[in-house]
Structure 1
């Protein structure tokens, strides 16, 4: 798949020469993932966050504001606060919001000219320099996707895209149309659809739309019938299939530690990069002498994703596809190759196992070679991601959680009638480890989401088991610091009410696949001994989509674009016999896009790659974020997204 992310940033780059460029958090992440920040710096632009905390570039005549999602009142307020002490005479605002969608946004404007006038008035009211008049212009740019690998892209501006949770049908009634959703949700989803349309326009693709799940169906329907998308499809013959899948149908992969993928550990153990939704912050200090200490303020962190570096993409692919030992050996090989190219002397010994200390020794060779360091910075950052992870103190805790998950499932897999239920085992673990040295209450809550999403009700345990676990968790959380307790309880009136709410969420995810037929089970017999193993829903969908026999899976719903497509789904009436119309199936085309709405794990990407490698269909995975177990805790346990605004 050839990506054209460079061209989408061209209008911003062209306008930013010797200017002050302010980016909101989503634009900053997208800019860095696409490599556009290097091109902006090359234009002598100065980059700043659009956060309303003052201005450091008032001497420059032009400022550029970049909003990667949509124009909102908060952007105008941030712009006014940020530029209040500046003397800019020209202000350019770039937004992904099309003029057609302005009417649905928070700003009561119908076109870009009106938004520009609104911005001019706001700046005139708040700026200290009343004499210099500001001329504001608004432009659209279509930068929405960031290629991480040739078969993986992210849309980080939509990391918090609203999702229909299991049971929301009872709140909204009929969820076959966006019109039943809150206005804010409708706006977010329509802007997302608009960006998907822009993405496929940049890729010159004519897509057939399929969906699995309620949110995905709404998105697929909107995209299939979007007038701009219909017009685009008429001008291109590069056919592809797009399958959208709801993350909420399978929370197992993102809540568990079962993956043997080093990339999953990197994402799960290293801290998040500031204000980014998917990338991690890599500690660069191992590059330098162990005798010298550096503050986090003085030493900028590295990042994992480098969309414009082929060698970094290759190493990330190894982190995803290879086992930990093999991935570490690949890091060593690439570092040795880089040192050989730069003629950096190094003693090479034959070793069967590469240690962290040896890797750090290789990396430190670049600290005294500035040119080599800059040239191979992406490789060094990814290498240090592996080093940071292998040295992380939380690794042993990750291993304990992995062992706990396997132990909980062992009795279920063996169908042993005498063993305690998973919920009963969890309760015993909490009660026996009152100091929570090995298993914290946070871990147990994420494990609950893991179990409820994976197992049918009769396999989890009884209501009595659930009630005992709730009481044990209340007692454990009562030992937390008061500030941490307040954060956990949130808007609930009591700790007990919050625990009830979390278990209500767990039960909802346990029933998420109740409406599915062929894709209802995540435990499937596999292998020569036909043992039940966990198979991610996204992998099952990909397997059905690339199967040469093209099985009929009714759970993968097709969204028609017009009369001809409607006839494909009207086989019972026999119309297709007269029009040479084949039945719709995701495997009809050589290119398949699989977009997981709500986040994907790198371990799931590994399994998709393994499936795709056995076919002649190219599979490209997309999502709005990369997930880890800590995201599950923050979003589903602490977060309150189910509360409708």
Structure 2
């Protein structure tokens, strides 16, 4: 197994080292939000500065080269070089005195072509960025200056070993089946999708294909769900000419096949608890969080409601010198994670001449006190990533938000059991009593959406009209208190107090929900395992990712995955039965299996996948990835906004 495993967690850094680092010496570097986040998880800002960059700045209309000494610029972006992205680059170049400009985009030529012309190219594009290079020269004011535009697949982020995210594609979300009374034929082909979605899918495919080439593997592609099918077909076409000998099984799954996994408050992984409780690291970051470091510094402790001191820069989770701690955050249950972090902390103190007080029962509060014992030590000790990670976990688990997650999980189990045992739904009652239970309108809608993805129409109860009326009333109440859920705020905008707009938004929600039932409720993959003894045992939710991986590893003959064959020859073989000795590929055939969730994946789902491998004692490497680290608030925004209009 050792010889056949792949180091997917190292490939992202290698890509930055090969494509970016050699170009930044003596340059001013401009990054958009997507690339700033990718850099953050790949050795960070200091790497660019240590490699000779003069400065690193946000790509915006308000930035420019500040002096004539800044003659060289490197722009690193994750978008097609059209529209606002190209306009921002133009604004910076025109306001500066650059003589040499390099643009590195993680959007491949095919996606750039799609963004420009709205058509999927049928062959490899050469000189796709030539027009952009000419525009750069024009903006620089001298056609003899130097410009270069290249594509590099920089979207990958390794959160922990074998757990990867591509946050550049956090807005890529699967489409749902259209209502039965509409013409849904428009969603049958990739070319019929909205241009921005076509472009994003082409970009995702290009990045995945490039990463497979860097890993020196040829993927056997399988899919479950309509959007994953589109991606699988494009990826197979992209990698058809590959002559790589090593194989990798890539299983693409639509998030909408199991929304419960992204919305549940169970949080089997500590990582999910941390990212749901602590605030995002900074603007544009979707994975990392802010960690209040004031207790380790001379600055006074923050009394701000956010818990972050204004005078102390926040810490974070991403640290290359402490990857083992991230492994425990993702793969361990809370008690085990605290024990492992405590062990690492004691070892860190011992190596730096600090003997920690290790008495008492291990709790998040005690772990936080143990971290605070490092206060007053050398700067090198305080800058260690482990202290920030441990303090972040301790603060998150002792935060009131962690207790609220437990309360939400209790309400979730009660709702689910009631729907299974009684065939009804107490969502109306939950809406009316949400304040006394400490729940917001968004929390209730999360529970309703989760419930619908598991039990279908039972989630609505006997009176759908009454439920709609209660939600409309709750929307008005939330708007008055400025507590409107993010997805409703985006849908309603300035029309939040207009009755027709609110009614239309609520109707839209109830139009989207049935699509969840039609995707998740398949004969084979039952997300909800209902016990035969009605009411005596709770219904059990079994995540789809866990089921799929178990079926793959157990060589289940009824496995419901679409295999994307390699070209016309394979299709003829399959269609007419020629060469019967050539068996259809099975996902288990390869030594490496990558499960990739289109629409976002949780750390808990990654943990459950790794647990399946461990319990089956099968010698295979399993990698879990997704387009985002899924969080309920963002999942609601993507689910409802994507289908709106």
Q: Does 1:281 align with 2:290?
A: yes
Counterpart secondary structure, 2:443: helix
TM-score by length of 1: 0.87
Counterpart contact for 1:252–1:454, Cα < 8 Å: yes
Counterpart contact for 1:430–1:436, Cα < 8 Å: no
Q: Measure how far apart 1:84 and its partner are.
A: 4.3
Deviations for 1:118-170, whole angstroms, at most 9, x for unmatched residues? 1232454xxxxxx9985432122222312222211111111112521232795
RMSD after superposition:
2.9
Counterpart contact for 1:80–1:123, Cα < 8 Å: no
Matched with 1:468 is: 466
Matched with 2:122 is: none
Counterpart contact for 2:220–2:250, Cα < 8 Å: yes
Q: Does 1:262 align with 2:274?
A: no
Counterpart contact for 1:526–1:533, Cα < 8 Å: no
Structure 2: state its 5+ residue gaps: 1-5, 119-125
Matched with 2:123 is: none
Counterpart secondary structure, 1:105: helix
Counterpart contact for 1:19–1:60, Cα < 8 Å: yes
In 2, Cα distance between equivalents of 1:231 and 1:500: 47
Counterpart contact for 1:524–1:535, Cα < 8 Å: no
The range that moved more, 254-263 or 492-501, is 492-501
Q: Measure how far apart 1:263 and its partner are.
A: 1.5
Matched with 1:623 is: 626
Query: Per the alignment, do residues 75 and 298 of structure 1 end up closer, same or farther by CA in structure 2, a change over 3 Å counting?
Result: farther
| Equivalent residue in structure 2 for 1:200, among 193, 206, 212 | 212
Q: Measure how far apart 1:574 and its partner are.
A: 4.3
Matched with 1:119 is: 136
Matched with 1:538 is: 545
Matched with 1:246 is: 254
Q: Measure how far apart 1:359 and its partner are.
A: 2.6
Q: Does 1:315 align with 2:313?
A: no
Query: Per the alignment, do residues 286 and 253 of structure 1 end up closer, same or farther by CA in structure 2, a change over 3 Å counting?
Result: farther
Counterpart contact for 1:146–1:154, Cα < 8 Å: yes
Query: Per the alignment, do residues 247 and 114 of structure 1 end up closer, same or farther by CA in structure 2, a change over 3 Å counting?
Result: same
Matched with 1:54 is: 63
Q: Measure how far apart 1:292 and its partner are.
A: 4.4
Counterpart contact for 1:212–1:557, Cα < 8 Å: yes
In 1, Cα distance between equivalents of 2:620 and 2:501: 53
The range that moved more, 589-598 or 383-392, is 383-392
Query: Per the alignment, do residues 557 and 91 of structure 1 end up closer, same or farther by CA in structure 2, a change over 3 Å counting?
Result: same
Q: Measure how far apart 1:442 and its partner are.
A: 1.4
Matched with 1:402 is: 409
Counterpart secondary structure, 1:494: helix
Matched with 2:344 is: 334
Counterpart secondary structure, 1:576: coil
In 1, Cα distance between equivalents of 2:409 and 2:150: 49
Q: Measure how far apart 1:333 and its partner are.
A: 1.3
Counterpart contact for 2:173–2:639, Cα < 8 Å: no
Matched with 1:552 is: 558
Matched with 2:369 is: 360
The number of residues matched between the two structures is 609
Q: Measure how far apart 1:66 and its partner are.
A: 0.5
In 2, Cα distance between equivalents of 1:55 and 1:386: 39
TM-score by length of 2: 0.87
The range that moved more, 206-215 or 622-631, is 622-631
In 1, Cα distance between equivalents of 2:532 and 2:287: 32
Matched with 1:507 is: 514
In 2, Cα distance between equivalents of 1:583 and 1:568: 10
Deviations for 1:89-126, whole angstroms, at most 9, x for unmatched residues? 221111123345443233899632321111232454xx
Deviations for 1:478-529, whole angstroms, at most 9, x for unmatched residues? 2234565582651674222222212222222122235x442254436699x9
Counterpart secondary structure, 1:104: helix
| Equivalent residue in structure 2 for 1:190, among 202, 217, 230 | 202
